Amino acid sequence: MNESNQTIAPPSLRPAVFAANGEHHPDAGLNLRPSGRGNPSRLDGAVVGQTIGTVTVVDPVFSCRDVNVYYGAKHAIKGVSLDVGKKQVLAMIGPSGCGKSTFLRCLNRMNDTIAGARVTGQILLDGQDIHDPARDVVQLRARVGMVFQKPNPFPKSIYDNVAFGPRLHGLVRRRADLDELVCTSLQRAGLWNEVKDRLTQSGTGLSGGQQQRLCIARTIAVMPHVILMDEPCSALDPIATARIEDLIDELKESFAIAIVTHSMQQAARVSQRTAYFHMGSLVEVGETDRIFTNPRHRLTEDYITGRFG
């Protein structure tokens, strides 16, 4: 535990915590907060204590325990424990520099590429440690796809953009199979009808929203278990954003999705669970419905109501 985690929330309002020994707090998942009557401190204190809410899920894809990230001397992620569940969307919100993107990048070991970055703690993907030396990072990234803020299609044809991953990983043997995979991926990304007549044209010639859906098609073509999204709509207009959000809602039936977003409304719209990060710590995690109506930590409340300053 780092120093800031020594400051525990007031004893009158015990948070449901994931205990260090890996067991659930007996009250985890219950609403521990008194009704509020005659209780001036409705929420837990403004200090960052232990994470409030249940960090575990019944059927996790990712299971992260006590993850710390250091960029040189900077302690960017401080003892975060969090699960990503199957067939659901986990939204990660928080002010700039709170560590939400850094945490996301831990999940497919993208921090490996940054000089001076060090990750400690345990991250299990389907029960296997992703930091296992025997683990092939390329294979890991095939199972954990990523969609970035700015659409980044390859300067190749639309077809080749989607076919690139399956070819690289040897997922298909015959051309006909590849055609079908490209077609279904584009269909699932909701792009097929718009591009079916121009598959040979360059992917960079599409509109921003189409490019982003092309990137999503490229990601799902390699049949990942998890899709990570780092502010996938922040460069898009509202209509393209709505299309992507609708797509996320459909994709969650097949994939686990973890999305970092600056738009709290987007987190409220697309996710089932929401995690609030603050200065490298995971402050609160819970059902999205509850976080946006009845957050338990004051920092969460301040952030989502726009009182942070």
Partner 1 sequence: MLEGHISRSFDGELAGLHIRVLEMGGLALDQVRAAARAYAEWDLHNAQLAIDREGVLITSGSRIFDDQLTLIARRNPVASDLRAIIALAKIAAELDRAGAEACKIARTVLHQSGRPGRRTSSDARHLANLATALLRLSLEALDQLDSEIADQVIDHDQDLDAEYAAGLRRLLTRALEDPANLEVTVEAAFVLKALERIGDHARNAAQQIVSLADHVAVGGQAAQQ
Tell me which of 61, 247, 260, 264 binds partner 1, using CB under 8 A: 264
Least distance from C-beta 262 to partner 1, angstroms? Answer: 14
40 counts as binding partner 1 under rule CB under 8 A:
yes
DSSP code string of 197-239: T-TTSBGGGS-HHHHHHHHHHHHHHT--SEEEEESTTTTS-HH
Tell me which of 1, 19, 30, 46 binds partner 1, using CB under 8 A: 46
284 counts as binding partner 1 under rule CB under 8 A:
no
User: Using an 8 Å Cβ cutoff, are 138 and 82 in contact?
Assistant: no
Q: Which residues contact 202 (CB under 8 A, 6 or more apart)?
A: 155, 156, 157, 158
Rounded to whole angstroms, what are the CA distances from 285 to 57, 271, 289? 11, 12, 11
User: Using an 8 Å Cβ cutoff, are 218 and 171 in contact?
Assistant: no
Tell me which of 25, 42, 143, 169 binds partner 1, using CB under 8 A: 42
Tell me which of 9, 17, 43, 215 binds partner 1, using CB under 8 A: 43
301 counts as binding partner 1 under rule CB under 8 A:
yes
Task: Please list every residue from 56 through 85 that binds partner 1, using CB under 8 A.
Answer: none
Least distance from C-beta 97 to partner 1, angstroms? Answer: 17
Least distance from C-beta 115 to partner 1, angstroms? Answer: 36
Least distance from C-beta 7 to partner 1, angstroms? Answer: 14
User: Residue 78 — φ and ψ, nearest 5°?
Assistant: -115, 95
Give contact residues for partner 1 (rule: CB under 8 A).
36-43, 46, 264-265, 268, 292-295, 298, 301-302, 304-309
